[in-house]
Amino acid sequence: MKFTANQIAEILDGEIDGNENAIVYKLSKIEEGEEGSLTFLSNPKYTSHIYSTKASIIIVNKDFVVENKIGTTLIKVEDAYASFSKLLEFYNEVKLNKTGIESPSFISETAKIGKNLYLGAFAYLSNNVQLGDNVKIYPNVYIGDNVTIGSNTTIFAGAKIYSETVIGENCAIHSGAIIGADGFGFAPSADGIYNKIPQIGNVVIEDNVDIGAATTIDRATLGSTIIRKGVKLDNQIQIAHNVEIGKNTVIAAQTGIAGSTKIGENCLIGGQVGIAGHLIIGNNIRMQAKSGIGKNIKDNEIIQGTPAFGYSDYNKSYVYFKKLPELVVKLNSLEKEIKALKDLS
- Residue 65's nearest CA partner among 50, 85, 79 is 50
Q: Is the CB of residue 248 less than 8 Å from the CB of residue 230?
A: yes
Q: Long-range contact list for 187-193, CB < 8 A, 24+ apart?
A: none
DSSP string, 81-112: HHHHHHHHHHHHHHHT---EE-SS-EE-TT-B
Instruction: Identify any residues that bridge with 37 across adjacent strands, giving them in sequence order.
Output: 26
- As a whole number of angstroms, the distance between CA 7 and CA 22 comes to 10
49, 174, 241, 278: the active-site residue: 241
Residue 241 annotated as catalytic = yes
Strands 57-61 and 37-40: parallel
The Cα-based distances of 262 to 39, 108, 227 in angstroms read 42, 36, 10
Q: How many CA atoms lie within 13 A of 328 on its CB side?
A: 5
What angle, rounded to 10 degrees, do the helices at 324-344 and 311-322 form?
Answer: 60
Strands 57-61 and 73-77: parallel
> Which helix (H) or strand (E) covers residue 322, if one does?
helix 311-322
> What is the Rg, in whole angstroms, of the alpha carbon atoms belonging to the chain?
27
Q: Please identify every residue annotated as catalytic.
A: 241
